[in-house]
Amino acid sequence: MVLLQPSRSDQSSMKAMPMHMHLNHYPRRFSPTFATRLTVGVALPLCGILTACQPAPRLDLEAATSMGDAVGLSGSVEFRKLSTDDSPLDEPAVLGRLTLPEAMRRAVTTDPALQAALARVRMAVADADQVRLLPNPVMFVVVRFGAGSPQVEASFVQDFMAGLQIPRRASAADNRLRAKAADAVTSALDAAAEVQERYAAAQAASALVPALRTRMKVMEQMTSIANDRLAAGEAGAGDVATLGAQRVSLEVDIERAVLAEREARIRLARVIGEPSSAAVWELDAWTAPPTELQPESSWVNTGLARRPEIQSIGWQLAALGDDKALAHLVPWEEEDALLPLPNPWEPASAGVDYQKDGNDAIGPSFATPVPIFDMGQSRRARVSAEVQAARNDMLTARRKVVEEVRTAYQILLASTSNLRRIREQLIPLQERRRSISDGAYRAGEADVTVLFLAEQDLRLAQTQAIEVELQSSNAIVRLQRAVGGAAAARTLTSASTATNIQNTNAPQLTSLEKVTP
């Protein structure tokens, strides 16, 4: 430690001063040149640090708005504070009809995982504010008692190296803050995609159960007709046994469908914040997905540009660039320099020392580690490896985006084509077959089994249509998720094509159901 002592005349004048004034008051005979140099030497770096430090960006508010925009909500997602650990499990219940937009709004605004992501954004904001603060100065006072008068040493030390690193540390913290904001948008997209898939599953299950129950009514009528014909001697026992086995099999299918519907509604209740509700809402009719799509390459390019997962890794790479610059100062900085909160106890520092030992002395001091053994090479190697790991993570994420977009795109095209084929070809053909069988049965030209098989195949085609509707709904949800949300997908589809279509798979009263023995 280097001490610059004033002249003997200055020392003699300082002896007459009280001890508590020695640190912050210079006698009139103290050299003005030394005071000026000391003031300028401390003030210039301090002014530079204060000028470089700007307030941390309020990305928590921007993240809340971006989350709402990404999932297609009209407003931002509000951060909710839980007062106690024993928070209520259920949000206010939805009565009557539950629309898809309302389900999405409730899921995004009440999802605890999404709220936790917003809390992590606020943590990153606090970290960014923390690194902008100058470290607290440290004051040391040592008093030694001996044979003569007490010896007093006092030091007032400021960590100047941490202050010089504030701009770079602030840049790294801001980049990590932006990465956390992108992660929050990812959580919002996941929540929106999950509730859409749960809603589509509940829609499909709700449509399938009535169709199966209608088939059961037909089966019961066919069984009654077969029993009457068996009693009249017009049919054999084989028809009755066949219809009985088919009826039991259909009962099993109905029970499974009812359980699947109940399970789908319970899962939907959980994602909208009502895990304990009865889940007996009325749901919207199925909506056909858009059929006029941009080329696959346009969807891929949009996904690569808009996916928040890729943006998050990009901001992490930017933060690692700041870490790499800080790593070159390792011999002169504290041990955990790359951590969010610095350690103020082992820095390079400068200050003012005062010593009272017979003749008083005061002067500036400077302390720094001597880079003999640790030149920072290990820290720089670690940061370089972290950069390479992040770059490979980026490549993996980009490849995964391409895979997800292409897979969802192809599934959507195939399911839409299959649904059109079922509606425009298979169902009309099965309806025609049933009509012909009905006429032959009435004319006595065919057995009831022929009519039953025609009716069963028609109901099976309608069930297939419901299943393909669910497949296409999940495909459009996953395609939207793959490109970065509904807002990104809206630019790639024609809004006029997404119109509500009447559910042609609803159970209908057929001529067979009106047949009496």
Beta bridge partners of 352: 156, 364
Confidence of residue 379 (pLDDT cuts 50, 70, 90): confident
Residue 274 exposure: Cα atoms within 13 Å on the Cβ side: 19
Q: Would you list the domain boundaries of the chain?
A: 198-307+398-514
pLDDT at 324: 83
- Give the fold, CATH level 3, of 198-307+398-514: Outer membrane efflux proteins (OEP) (1.20.1600)
- Say if residue 29's pLDDT is above 60: no
Residue keyed to tokens 């009565």: 95
- Say if residue 207's pLDDT is above 90: no
Mean pLDDT of the chain: 76
Residue 336: helix, strand or coil by DSSP?
Answer: coil
The gap between the terminal CA atoms of the chain, to the nearest Å, is 113
Q: 296-335, pLDDT tens digit by residue?
A: 999 999 999 999 999 999 999 999 988 888 877 654 454 4
The mean per-residue pLDDT over the stretch 337-364 comes to: 61
* DSSP class per residue in 19-45: GGGTTT---TTS-HHHHHHHHHHHHHH
**Residue 181 φ then ψ, to 5°:** -65, -40
pLDDT at 318: 92
pLDDT at 410: 93
Q: Say how many C-beta atoms besides its own lie within 10 A of residue 513's C-beta.
A: 13
Name which of 104, 68, 479, 108 is nearest 284 in CA terms.
Answer: 104
Q: 224-276, pLDDT tens digit by residue?
A: 877 777 777 766 677 778 778 878 888 898 899 899 999 999 999 999 988 88
Report the range of poorest mean pLDDT among 106-110, 191-195, 365-369, 455-459: 365-369
- Say if residue 217's pLDDT is above 80: yes
Judge whether 191 and 114 are in contact, CB under 8 Å: yes
Q: 383-434, pLDDT tens digit by residue?
A: 889 999 999 999 999 999 999 999 999 999 999 999 999 999 999 999 999 8
The mean per-residue pLDDT over the stretch 51-61 comes to: 62
Q: How many angstroms separate the CA atoms of 13 and 10, rounded?
A: 5
Name which of 71, 502, 496 is nearest 292 in CA terms.
Answer: 496
Burial of 295 (0-12, 13-18, 19+ CB in 10 A): exposed
Q: 147-190, pLDDT tens digit by residue?
A: 777 778 877 777 777 777 788 888 888 999 999 989 998 998 99
